[in-house]
Structure 1
Amino acid sequence: MEGERARSAHTVRAYLADVESLLGFAVAEGVQELGQLQLGSLRRWLGAQSESGMARATLARRAATARSFTGWALREELIGTDPAVRLQAPKRDKSLPGVLQQQQIARMVDDLNTAAADGGPMALRNRAMVELLYATGIRVGELAGLDIDDLDPDRRTLRVVGKGNKERTVPFGVPAAVAVDDWLRRGRPAVVTAASGPALFLGVRGNRVDPRQVRAVVNKLLQALGDTSATGPHALRHSAATHLLDGGADLRAVQEILGHSSLATTQIYTHVSVDRLRKSYQQAHPRA
Structure 2
Amino acid sequence: MKKLIAKQKEKFLEHLTSYKGYSNLTVKTYKEALDEALEIIEIVKEGKHILFNLMPYRIHISELKSKTISKKLSAIRSFSDYLNESGIKVVLKADESVKVAKTLPKPIAHKHIIEALQHADLQEKLIITILYTMGLRISELSHLELKDIDSQWIRVIGKGSKQRDIPVLETTRKLLQEYLEIFSPKKFLFEKNGEKLSENSLRYIINKVFARISLKVTPHQLRHSYATSLLNGGAPIVDVSELLGHSSMATTQIYTKLGSALKKQNYDKAHPLCGVKQ
Per the TM superposition, whether the score is higher than 0.5 is: yes
Match of 1:166 in 2: 162
1:245 maps to 2:231: yes
1:276 is displaced (CA, Å) by 6.9
**For 1:264, which of 250, 259, 273 is the aligned residue?**
250
**Structure 2 contact 232–259 (Cα < 8 Å) conserved:** yes
Match of 2:109 in 1: 101
- Using the aligned pairs only, state the percent identity: 34
Q: Distance in 2 between matches of 1:276 and 1:224?
A: 30
Residues 1-288 of structure 1: pairs in structure 2 closer than 5 A:
93-112=101-120, 115=121, 124-153=122-151, 156-186=152-182, 188-189=183-184, 192=185, 197-203=186-192, 205-226=193-214, 228=215, 231-274=217-260
Letter paired with 2:222:
L
Q: Distance in 1 between matches of 2:247 and 2:101?
A: 19
Task: Provide closer, same or farther for how the CA distance between residues 172 and 248 of structure 1 changes in structure 2, counting only shifts above 3 A.
Answer: same
Q: Distance in 2 between matches of 1:236 and 1:252?
A: 20
1:110 is displaced (CA, Å) by 1.5
1:232 is displaced (CA, Å) by 1.5
**Structure 2 contact 256–263 (Cα < 8 Å) conserved:** no
Task: Provide closer, same or farther for how the CA distance between residues 92 and 247 of structure 1 changes in structure 2, counting only shifts above 3 A.
Answer: closer
Task: Provide closer, same or farther for how the CA distance between residues 252 and 92 of structure 1 changes in structure 2, counting only shifts above 3 A.
Answer: closer
Q: Distance in 2 between matches of 1:93 and 1:146?
A: 28
Q: TM-score, normalised by structure 1?
A: 0.54
Task: Provide closer, same or farther for how the CA distance between residues 253 and 104 of structure 1 changes in structure 2, counting only shifts above 3 A.
Answer: same
Q: TM-score, normalised by structure 2?
A: 0.56
Q: Distance in 2 between matches of 1:224 and 1:245?
A: 29
Structure 1 residues 137-182: Cα deviation after superposition (integer angstroms, max 9, x where no partner): 01011011111111121xx211000000000101121121111111
1:102 is displaced (CA, Å) by 1.1
Match of 1:31 in 2: none
Q: RMSD across aligned C-alpha pairs, in angstroms?
A: 2.0
3-state secondary structure, aligned to 2:116: helix
5+ unaligned residues in a row in structure 1: which ranges? 1-90, 116-123, 279-288
1:225 is displaced (CA, Å) by 2.5
1:198 is displaced (CA, Å) by 1.5
1:211 is displaced (CA, Å) by 0.9
**Structure 2 contact 207–218 (Cα < 8 Å) conserved:** yes
Q: Distance in 2 between matches of 1:93 and 1:256?
A: 20
**Structure 1 contact 109–127 (Cα < 8 Å) conserved:** yes
Q: Distance in 2 between matches of 1:277 and 1:263?
A: 16
Aligned length: 166
Task: Provide closer, same or farther for how the CA distance between residues 275 and 265 of structure 1 changes in structure 2, counting only shifts above 3 A.
Answer: farther
Structure 1 residues 79-114: Cα deviation after superposition (integer angstroms, max 9, x where no partner): xxxxxxxxxxxx7643222211111111112222xx
Task: Provide closer, same or farther for how the CA distance between residues 214 and 275 of structure 1 changes in structure 2, counting only shifts above 3 A.
Answer: farther
**Structure 2 contact 124–205 (Cα < 8 Å) conserved:** yes
**Structure 1 contact 108–221 (Cα < 8 Å) conserved:** yes
